[in-house]
Chain A
Amino acid sequence: MTARGTPSRFLQSVLHNGVGRYVCQLKRISLIFSKKGQGSLGVRDFIEEGVVDFAKNNPGTVVYISPQSCRIPKIVAEYLNGNVKEETVTNKTSQEIVELITKLSNQSGLDIIRIRKPFHTDSPSIQGQWHPFTNRPPSIDPVGPQAK
């Protein structure tokens, strides 16, 4: 679809994150997988080896492991601004899942849609934005033929 038909947003950061302390925007990550299915093999390998290190490295993120009888394993990431992102990880290797999870933890929860401008500022003008009377000398006499 065209840029006009798809949603778009302006560049922003969640609550000026990074100006002061950096807060990891990933609130909760849930790994839904099945104990026996072959699509969840990568997830099971990841749980064996990598998930504890991930949880230790990201103390602000809660990691939920929920084995269910499901056909497709999923990773559900919830962010501090309320957005929920679901990714299916069928037949992915453990390494790919590690990369996916680091990508999710580095994202803020803002939508991945077209960004209208690659810049944003809260103070667009230092000296004051121009208006028609900026450099106009003031006149006391009324403007018009009667002034002649």
Chain B
Amino acid sequence: MSSFSRSAQQWATFARSWFLIDARMQPPGKIASVCSVRLQGKHKPIYHPLSDIGDHVVVMNTRHIAFSGNKWEQKVYSSHTGYPGSFKQLTAAQMHKKDPTAIIKLAVYGMLPKNLTRRTMMQRLHLFPDDVLPDDILRNLTEELPQPREIPRKLSEYTQEERDAFPMLWTPPEDYRMK
């Protein structure tokens, strides 16, 4: 790389990458924080807030995000257009049904710096509800980011040998009745 000319080295250092992240079974807040770091360019040692060196982030499977707790029913997204009588409140479940990408979009929007560069960074965020991506975006992808949350396995995904090998604290007798 040291054999590059000055202009080629500059072009390489300031190149914009495309990242892919799969949001299946992930909490949208964790996905959003990873996205906001990459959109601002904070993962680069050449970061400066004025430099506009953020990368593109493509999020797929936003329809299959997983809120923890009861947030699907309890988290409320409010909006007001300014006209009287137009205060709308939607639960996360209703919002997600109306638009499967809106939750992650709002989460990333809230995590970016509140200045004029935020809109440009949001333009570089690409959200897709399923894992069908258009060709031109597929061709640009350079790296897949690891998922922030480790997905726990369902009981049906464990083999019988693993289930037998799991240590039991005590073995109940044959006629023990579980409540």
Contacts and interface: CB of A to CB of B under 8 A. Distances in A.
Main secondary structure of the interface of B (DSSP, over half): loop
Contact of A145 (B12, B13, B46, B131): B131
B9 A143 contact: no
A131 interface: yes
B1 A144 contact: no
B24 to A, nearest CB: 10
Interface residues of A, number: 13
B17 A132 contact: yes
Nearest to B6: A124
Given A139-B143, A143-B143, A145-B133, A131 B1 contact: yes
A129 interface: yes
Contact of B44 (A130, A147, A148): A130
Contacts of A145: 22, 60, 131-133
A125 B4 CA distance: 12
Nearest to B45: A130
B13 A131 contact: yes
Given A131-B1, A132-B142, A147-B144, 7 more contacts: A125-B2, A129-B1, A132-B44, A143-B141, A144-B20, A144-B133, A145-B131
22 contacts: A125-B2, A129-B9, A129-B12, A129-B13, A130-B44, A130-B45, A131-B9, A131-B13, A131-B15, A132-B17, A139-B143, A143-B20, A143-B142, A143-B143, A143-B144, A144-B141, A144-B144, A145-B60, A145-B132, A145-B133, A147-B144, A148-B22
